Structure 1
């Protein structure tokens, strides 16, 4: 069997708009996230791998809860995320038909969890489509600020809604609402943060920043306590 040609060097647009299996490419970041070279996982798998800390291909209820806590969400939101995510995507990603009462999510089958009414930036195999990603901003970033305001995000969700797709509407709202709470800066969800959210690198960045802040805060309190102890002496 001959090799399948998916792009042509002499026609650059065929390379720019070809679905990328392992990188989330944008016009500004054609090679994806710098320093992130994961060649055996689709972009959609990379998006959820943050929650699979032991890398066994299974996301458990507590994995999701712990991941959202690491990102800074409160207990109530984390519990809501666990219910929504595992209640929606557990059975469809299982390698068998009988539902598992543990509501496990299998990352090898996460492409089966793709839903309707989305931006179609992920394709049905979990690959990243740069053209669809850029389309988000060409359509809804009306003043070319390099991101979406809250109202523009709502318009994007509404613009992608498929008729009578109630689950897709809810999933889209939940996903983008979570991204907004996680990464908006002064009322703008910037393009680079959205791109990094697609390949999951944003999650690691935010979790690391929060861990450093907690450590710094703890060290500061410890030093303050020690200083007070010395003063009493």
Structure 2
């Protein structure tokens, strides 16, 4: 979670403070953001080229678990838990009727448009 540096506790509204985005990095992540919080397109693509076996542009639940296991760092319990929680929530909220998590959907979480898309789809 990225909250204002001056605050000891997170804002209950859970805002994303862009200038502090790099502080949200943790171990066992997909490395799609670098240490400065910049999106790395090659790492994003690598996620699908390595783990999307059934379909080039989407992940099944099993493939998602394979990716999480591959990214897991030894003795990184907090990072592993954070990655699992975020990816599992993304999968549960965004899988399609065939239980696939599409590349475009994952990209939308990285560019910030996913929640707007979900809201529009539910209206």
Give the TM-score category using the shorter length. Answer: 0.7 to 0.9
SS of 1:118's partner is coil
2:49/2:56 contact within 8 Å kept: no
RMSD (Å), alpha carbons: 1.7
Residue 121 of structure 2 corresponds to which residue in structure 1?
209
Contact 2:48 2:56 in 1 (8 A): no
What is the alpha-carbon distance in structure 1 between the residues aligned to residue 79 and residue 64 of structure 2? 16
2:48 to 119, 137, 160: 137
Equivalence for 1:94: 4
Q: What is aligned with 1:18?
A: none
TM-score normalised per structure 1: 0.47
Unaligned runs of 5+ in 2: none
> Distance in 2 between the 1:95 and 1:176 partners?
26
**Cα offset, 1:146, TM superposition:** 1.4
Deviation of 1:143 (Å):
3.1
For structure 1, the residue ranges without an aligned partner over 5 or more in a row are 1-88, 213-233
The number of residue pairs the alignment matches comes to: 118
Mapped pair 1:148 → 2:59: yes
Alignment partners' CA distance in 2, 1:106 and 1:155 = 28
Do 1:161 and 1:169's aligned partners in 2 also have CA atoms closer than 8 Å?
A: yes
Larger Rg: 1
Aligned match of 2:106: 194
Kept in 2: contact 1:149–1:187 (CA 8 A): yes
CA offset at residue 106 of structure 1?
6.0
In structure 1, the residue matched to 2:70 is 159
Conserved in 2, the CA contact under 8 Å of 1:147 and 1:191?
yes
**Residues 101-140 of structure 1: matches in 2 within 5 Å?**
103-104=10-11, 107=17, 108-140=19-51
Residues 116 and 168 of structure 1 are in contact (CA less than 8 Å); yes or no, is this contact kept in structure 2?
A: yes
Aligned partners of 1:126, 1:115: CA distance in 2, in Å?
11
Structure possessing the higher relative contact order (Cα contacts under 8 Å, 6 or more residues apart): 1
Map 1:1-233 to 2 at 5 A.
89=1, 93-96=3-6, 99-100=8-9, 103-104=10-11, 107=17, 108-185=19-96, 186-210=98-122, 212=123
Q: TM-score scaled to structure 2, two decimals?
A: 0.86
| 1:129-162 Cα deviation digits (max 9, x unpaired) | 0110010011111134411000000000000001
